[in-house]
Amino acid sequence: MKLRALRLFAQIDVLLTGWMARYGVMILRVSVGVVFFWFGALKFFPDLSPAQDLATRTISILTFGVIPAPIALFILATWECAIGIGLILGLYMRVTLALLWLQMLGTITPIFFFPNEVFKYIPFAPTLEGQYIIKNIVLISAGIVIGATVRGGALFANPKAHVH
C-alpha cells in the first residue's frame, strides 16, 4: 500500500511539474504584465497611486526639473501600461523587457535620493515606500526569467530528457 501511494505521488508530481514547466513562464509573464498595467493605470488618476509623490520627485531629480510633475507622471503611467500590455500579450518582448529594466533602474534611485523616506533605519528597516521599491527585485528577476525565453528558451520538467 505504501509503495502504491509513493507511485501515485510520483505520477502526480510528474504531471504537476510538467504543467508548471509548460505554462509557468507564460503565467509569470502575464501576471507581471497585470501588475505593471494596474500600477501604471493608477498613475493616470490623481492620488490613487501610493508611489505618485515619490515617483514624480525622483523623475524631477533625474531630469533636472525639466519635466513638470504632471507630465512626468503621465509618461511614467504610459510607460508602465506599455510594459504591462507587452507582457500580457507577449508582444515586442525585447523592447518590452528593455522598458521594464530601464523603469526598474529608475525605481531604485529613491534609495539614494530619499534614503530617509525609504528606510526607517538605514539600511535595515525599510518604510512602506522602501518595501515597495525592494519588491522590485522580484520583478527584475521575473524579467530575467521571461527574457531567457525570448530566443526560444524554455523550462523542462526533466532536463535530462532534453540534453542535446
**CA gyration radius, the chain:** 20
- Domain positions in the chain: 28-153
- Indicate if the pLDDT at residue 108 is higher than 90: yes
Alpha carbon distance 91, 87 (integer Å):
7
Residues in the chain: 164
Q: Pick the more confident residue, 14 or 33.
A: 33
pLDDT tens-place string over residues 41-91: 999 998 899 889 999 999 999 999 999 999 999 999 999 999 999 999 999
pLDDT tens-place string over residues 19-51: 999 999 999 999 999 999 999 999 999 889 988
pTM for the full model? 0.89
- Indicate if the pLDDT at residue 162 is higher than 70: no
